[in-house]
Structure 1
Amino acid sequence: MNDVLVLDRAATAAALDPRRLMAAVSDALVAVARDAVSAPPRIAAFAPGGLLGAMPGYVPGLGLAAKLVSVFADPARPGRSTHRGIVALFDPEDGRPLAVMDAEPVTAWRTAAAATHSAWTLARPGPVVVIGTGAQARAQVSLLAALHPAEPVTVAGRDPEAARVLAALHPLGRATDGIETAVREAATVYCCTGATRPVLRRAWLAPGTHVSSVGGSHGPELDDDTIRNAALFTEWHGAATTPPPSGAHELQRLPGDRDVVLLGSVLCREAPGRTSPDQLTVFKSTGHAALDVAAAHVVHRTATGRRADELPR
């Protein structure tokens, strides 16, 4: 065990190279769509104050990893919860443990990467809005700043000061006090909240808007009309077929004939994405173990100095 790389939160975040991450997450999403991933259903052990969940996964070309995450009530924020944990990466050939890293930046950045891929693939050109001011919104704004610093981003949230602090992470970031006003002008909306009820309404969305909804673990971020009117995309079929928290609150009551397209199928051009300029598109993320494997792979390769050309294309 002496050769196991151990990375704290700061070191894990520093090793999440944005462009390597985007490439690895794309490969993972395609592998999920092609049913090439081994990832059993999520399991959890329950303690008096919360739970410990486990998400193991294997992705060909990226590796073998498992995430352990505790979800406990946060006394400092009534009604909210903490998410703390680790990701362990193993050698897929001989099972040797390679690295242990902090799960929070892994989860936040792989989720932001998947949401960004959905926008790159499905959105039309135009203003970008990020709703939320927490850890996930921070990762989303930071990733956009790293990938496209010349494209403006507007941050909207319930806390104006927190929105201003977050917007400052982007060279062309700005904050706005009103979520509705910002959304009405947007071509792409990233919803990154801890919502228990919808924070975005169909009536606010212009024709052709793309929505990447990655929050809402405790309830729906999007209203029923948005889901009803949109072309729907997810990381995996379980987002619509399994109950929360593994499945999405918004996708629980879909009619049996409703089509939900896997984002990986669009990325590899095995399924269509946007079919008209005015089409409303929604990517509803619930996370997937394959994305944790992808991020852990990038962290390990970056931290150990492996070359970019050694990464999967």
Structure 2
Amino acid sequence: MSVNNINKGVTVVSEEVCQQIMGRSESFTAVENVFAAMAKNTAYNFPVIREAIGHEDALYGFKSGFDRDGMVLGLKSGGYWPGNVKKDLTNHQSTVILFDPDTGKLKSLVGGNYLTAVRTAASSAVSIAHLARKDAKVLGMVGAGHQSTFQLRAAVEQRNFEKIVAWNIDPDKLDNLADICAELSLPFESVTREELGAQADVIITITSAFEPLLNVDWIKPGTHIACMGTDTKGKQEVDANLLKKATVFTDELAQSITIGEAQHAVIQGLIKEADITPIGEVINGTKPGRSSADEITLFDGTGVGLQDLAVASAAADLAEAKGQASYINF
């Protein structure tokens, strides 16, 4: 923290400012860099705390960590309030709190709702950039919730997709994705899950499912799949046998095998922790990514606190540089 910033006080970056200054490119770079640092063991996620608070059916918790390369220390505090939709509020509520690693002094308060969406989308985009076939033409979307629109926009910037196919349990909600495709002049089609697997070269699953939505037999050779919805014990989006058939990558091994998509394949003895590669290893060039055009690759995106800290730190720096940050004495 510079002397100038200490004199100004604690940096505050609102949700509105985050939406104005933090784009997909900045989020992609922040997430890619922190994945690389994690693979070098120069960035560490601390144990996650997540509890039901016994009020409003809310889940509340903390994700925290330290990135020595980026000199970012802090936590994301927040959770899920299912009744917020009736109050015209986002169900997911969070704030990122950053500290000066040199002194422990409070450094920044950053709105975390929008940043959670863009960092999750950046994670799948990083996986597409490093693992999908270069000639991928069809993108498949499984799920059409709030997060899916961020996923779609980030994904289409990674390959020259010529068509988007999508499935959702409630087909009417696919209009959100169809509207974005119309805006981007991309053909869009609502399909069955079997048809999606037959057509898509890249698939993003972004649901809250507790049972497999995609069967291993539906996935064609050469597909890249980014499983982005499974972040809790018991959740599942794809057939566990798909992880046995695919080459599996993840953001963090510990979460992948306990709360991520890989938990079911590990429990069933289909794969072991050693079969999963941190994507940071691919980014750093220490482990291979895709090895052939026919190989199925799967990214288990569990979501880690360091992603939140990375994008929040980038947002705080941008807000200060653009004169859009606020300051408080603390």
State TM-score, norm by structure 2.
0.82
Who is 2:112 aligned against? 103
Cα distance change on mapping 1:277 and 1:15 into 2, 3 Å: same
- 1:180 and 2:186 aligned: no
Once residues 210 and 302 of structure 2 are traced to their aligned partners in structure 1, the CA distance between those partners, rounded to angstroms, is: 15
Shift in Å, 1:281: 0.8
Partner of 1:310: none
Which runs of structure 2 are paired with 1:272-283 in the superposition (5 Å)? 272-283=288-299
Shift of 1:121: 0.9
- Percent identity for Structure 1 against Structure 2: 25
Select 1:86's aligned residue among 90, 95, 109: 95
Amino acid at match of 1:187: D
Alignment partner of 1:233: what SS? Answer: strand
Give the superposition deviation at 1:34.
Answer: 1.1
The structure-2 alpha-carbon separation of the partners of 1:149 and 1:168, relative to structure 1 and needing over 3 Å to count, comes to farther
Counterpart amino acid of 1:41?
P
Q: 1:39 to 1:217 in 2, by over 3 A?
A: closer
Q: Could you tell me whether the CA contact under 8 Å between 1:17 and 1:299 is conserved in 2?
A: no
Q: Is the 8 A contact 2:36 2:280 kept in 1?
A: yes
Letter of the structure 2 residue corresponding to residue 157 of structure 1: N
Letter aligned with residue 21 of structure 2: A
- Distance across 2 between alignment mates of 1:128 and 1:13: 26
Kindly state the Cα deviation for residue 265 of structure 1 after the two structures are TM-superposed.
0.2
1:28 to 29, 34, 50: 34
Which residue among 50, 56, 59 is the counterpart of 1:51?
59
Give distance in 2, aligned partners of 1:157 and 1:116.
Answer: 21
- Structure holding more helix per residue: 2
Cα contact 2:121–2:154 (8 A) shared by 1: yes
Q: What root-mean-square deviation, in Å, do the aligned CA atoms of Structure 1 and Structure 2 show?
A: 2.8
Deviation at 1:279, TM superposition (A): 1.0
The answer to which of 262-271 and 177-186 deviates more is 177-186
Shift of 1:23: 1.3
5+ long unaligned stretches in structure 1: 308-313
Q: Which range moves more in the overlay, 225-234 or 133-142? A: 133-142
Q: Give the letter aligned to residue 216 of structure 1.
A: T
Range with greater deviation from structure 2 (165-174 or 106-115): 165-174
TM-score under structure 1 normalisation? 0.86
Match of 2:318 in 1: 302
**What runs of 5+ residues in structure 2 fail to find an aligned partner?**
1-5, 324-330
Q: 1:114 to 1:62 in 2, by over 3 A?
A: farther
When the two structures are aligned, how many residues end up with a matched partner?
A: 302
Distance 1:52 1:181, change over 3 A: same
Stretch moving more, 113-122 or 10-19: 10-19
